[in-house]
Amino acid sequence: MMGGVRNIEELQERLDGVYDLNQADDCRKMIGVLLRSIREKERLGQQLQNQLKTLALMVVNENPEARDKAREALAKSGKTKAEVFDFLMNMAKTMDAAEAMSNDQLVSEVTNLVWAGLDMSSRESSVLGEMIHRMKGLGEHES
């Protein structure tokens, strides 16, 4: 709906007869529409990222459904084969790098980078915290 609009005047022109941006109430409605459309775009973007991650894991695990999943992800994402291939290659490289880490490096990376960014009262945070706690315990038994 808002595609190609670059400024408020163009927006008012496009909305003429529907909304009047000089009226506070209409402005509030318009902002609501824009916020919903931004949230929807973010949700879709996250969904596509998740599908690509799932696909990458399937490829890494040599899952036979990976080829069909790849076709589906490619069709939905609007990305070229090369872009998807680059994404998968980069993910494979980062997974290799993670596999090469020692337990201590892994725990410190997760603690400092991943866990630090979470809301500390969330379920994800507490689950990750427990996992780190157990990993540290495992590491102590090894040495």
3-state secondary structure 99-120: HCCCHHHHHHHHHHHHHHHCCC
The answer as to whether 96 is a domain residue is no
Q: Please, are residues 56 and 92 in contact by the beta-carbon 8 Å criterion? A: yes
The model's pLDDT over 2-58, given as tens digits with 9 standing for 90+, comes to 567 788 888 888 888 787 878 888 888 888 888 888 888 888 888 877 777 777 777
The answer as to whether 127 is a domain residue is no
**pLDDT at residue number 141:** 59
In this structure, which amino acid lies at residue 85?
F
Smallest Cα–Cα separation from 34: which of 77, 13, 3?
Answer: 3
The answer as to whether 132 is a domain residue is no
The model's pLDDT over 108-134, given as tens digits with 9 standing for 90+, comes to 888 888 888 888 888 888 988 888 888
Is the pLDDT confidence value at 143 over 60? no
- Residues spanned by the domain of 71: 1-79
Quote the crossing angle between the two packed helices 24-60 and 66-77, to the nearest 10°.
160
The answer as to whether 111 is a domain residue is no
The answer to whether the predicted template modeling score (pTM) of the entire model surpasses 0.85 is no
Provide the number of structural domains found in the chain.
1
The answer as to whether 46 is a domain residue is yes
Distance CA 68, CA 80 (A): 16
The answer as to whether 64 is a domain residue is yes
The answer as to whether 18 is a domain residue is yes
The answer as to whether 114 is a domain residue is no
